[in-house]
Structure 1
């Protein structure tokens, strides 16, 4: 994943700085987080960077084109915001984006929850399903 991100940023002429991995602890989960930053010149719009990085290997595999074709072949539904780049840009070009792997879209009194699992060779479907249910449970608890 780090190689993919740094290669893509370098292709845009950016010089990514990779900081030491850190443990990110939230109330119900923890994961390894590696901050990556780069100075972005005014002639590169932030959405160009987002387009270069989306979809990441975290949601589309390392052979991105092949994986995306397989996802479209086997999934019978639209992903909506799942795995989409979510973030903000201000009038000065400052921005921050994340990959919407665990997220919720709230519309009035309704919410659509998004979560997924990393299916790889050797994955156990029952364990992957249990993992997704656990992730969704954490989102649901945050809403009720």
Structure 2
């Protein structure tokens, strides 16, 4: 179930406390620094300013609908290796948009690109999306 709050909330253990119901004094700026999001952003920020982030990514991931275009653009730009770990997953059939291919064509395209440019290939049997019902 999703609950919409008009103001912020605080998490105390497993209890969600609406901002207007929280009795103690709160320094919002200090509380923000205690969040999981803050710690992730701070550890990946290459600037000295948390108000103007310059994020360094550990890796990139895309599925076959996007990796086809990314790889074609990388090749056209002259890139020889992916500059950071790049995970290529398979859950669609995107090459069929240009006519007459099958999923195995997409998968072979992704595998050969991962080998050529240093990517991480996730075989189609390991990429399954489960539908989410609300």
TM tier, smaller: under 0.3
Task: Tell which structure's C-alpha radius of gyration is larger.
Answer: 2
TM superposition score normalised by structure 2: 0.22
TM superposition score normalised by structure 1: 0.21
**Greater per-residue strand proportion:** 1
